Amino acid sequence: MGFATKAIHVGQEPDPLTGSVTVPLYQTSTFAQEAIGKHKGYEYARTQNPTRSAWERNMAALEDGTDAISFASGMAAIDAIARLFDAGDHVLLAEDMYGGTFRLFDTVLSRHGLRFDTVDMRDLDAVRRALRLDTKLLLTETPTNPLMTISDIAALAEIAHSSGALLAVDNTFASPYFQRPLQLGADIVVHSATKYLGGHSDLVHGVVVVRSEELAERLHFIQNAVGAVPGPFDCWLLLRSVKTLALRMEQHQRNALAIAQLCSSHPAVERVYYPGLPSHPQHELAARQMSGFSGMVSIELGSRQKADRFIAGLRIVTLAESLGGVESLVCHPATMTHASIPEEVRLARGITDGLVRLSIGIEDSADLVEDVRDALDNCR
């Protein structure tokens, strides 16, 4: 079954009671039971909900996983992965990751005894050197936020498994349409479903997909025990949204490539970060493990002043946090998504005051190109 067919049909079979072709929204906190210990598979909505179950079945199919476990946000999903481990265990994080992920490990999880280090996941020898006897998890993003670096998922899986660790991949920027890490050897995939999966900037959600039934059982337990679960309406919205994921991702990519090519030739831009360009240092790796390059483009303008002038010159692209919606957004990582990272660390990683991140939407390409070109002309 092809991707678009799975997105439309898996977990979304017509309702057997009424024939509804749309999964019903079960907006309830509890379920009537016929007798003590006798129910229809549902007891309490924190533990399970039919709309949520349909969404989880659909998401597991899209990532070619055994099961999916959904959460109230992407950060709640990453927190649940961390809760698989014990105080004293060690985690390796990609050094170029979303600032909220770094903040979670640095200021919350470390206080409860989980130890972590960051490493350049592009450098496989550096990853091997960073492994410790107590390393239990490698967590990476690919492409990363906001510098679009690419991790070799298959190689990292081999390294992790050889040391008895798990590999988790944040697949938010690629979406399962363009990349499926479980097929490449990863054990866990996590998404901020707020982004491309939701696609319309109208919900906050996170989801984890796993290969093994044992991991699924443990994460479902954490989901219920901790209680950071999504509401059924968000799950219903996601079931609606993924039906058009294939169409949306193709248009995101077409528009992003046009913007990346424009920026590559514009004198106001010092550097373009987009794995779909042959000039990207890991373009060949990206082409090998991805079927497309998604809609995220970052550009280095050289100074905060130029970044301010560029953003002020945009008319269609909106200054806002988040990404992956149908509308194009612009973000200043140093003061927005990565503001929680210490300045010296941020600058060492290349997240400068002149770096701007673009989430390219699905508007008419010509309109976006004109808008970005005018804004670039404005900041020269």
Residue 58 C-alpha from the chain's centroid: 17
List 46, 240, 243, 373, catalytic entry:
46
Q: Are the CB atoms for 362 and 323 separated by under 8 Å? A: no
What pLDDT was estimated at residue 276?
98
pLDDT at position 329 is 98
Tens digit of pLDDT for each residue in 140-188? 999 999 999 999 999 999 999 999 999 999 999 999 999 999 999 999 9
Query: Position 60: which residue type?
Result: A
Amino acid at 238: L
Helices (H), 108-242: 124-130, 153-162, 175-178, 213-226, 232-242
Q: Give the whole-angstrom CA distance, residue 252 versus residue 173.
A: 11
CA pair distance 271, 113, nearest whole angstrom? 40
pTM surpassing 0.85? yes
User: Which pLDDT belongs to residue 289?
Assistant: 98
Q: Quote the pLDDT of residue 309.
A: 97
What's residue 338's pLDDT? 87
Q: Do residues 70 and 236 lie in contact, with contact meaning Cβ atoms separated by under 8 Å?
A: no
Q: Is 46 known to be catalytic? A: yes
> Which domains are present in the chain?
3-242 (3.40.640.10), 245-378 (3.90.1150.10)
* pLDDT value of residue 345: 83
Catalytic residue among 89, 170, 234, 371: 170
Active site residue 98: yes
> Ramachandran region of residue 127, left (φ > 0), alpha (ψ -120 to 50) or beta?
alpha
Query: Is 349 tagged catalytic?
Result: no
Side chain identity, residue 359: S
Q: Would you give the DSSP letter of residue 103?
A: H
From 98, 177, 273, 274, the catalytic residue: 98
Determine the Cα–Cα distance for residues 112 and 110; give it in Å rounded to an integer.
Answer: 5
Q: Which of 52, 83, 195, 211 is catalytic?
A: 195
Counting as low any pLDDT under 70, the low residues of the chain are none
Structure tokens at 42: 């549902």
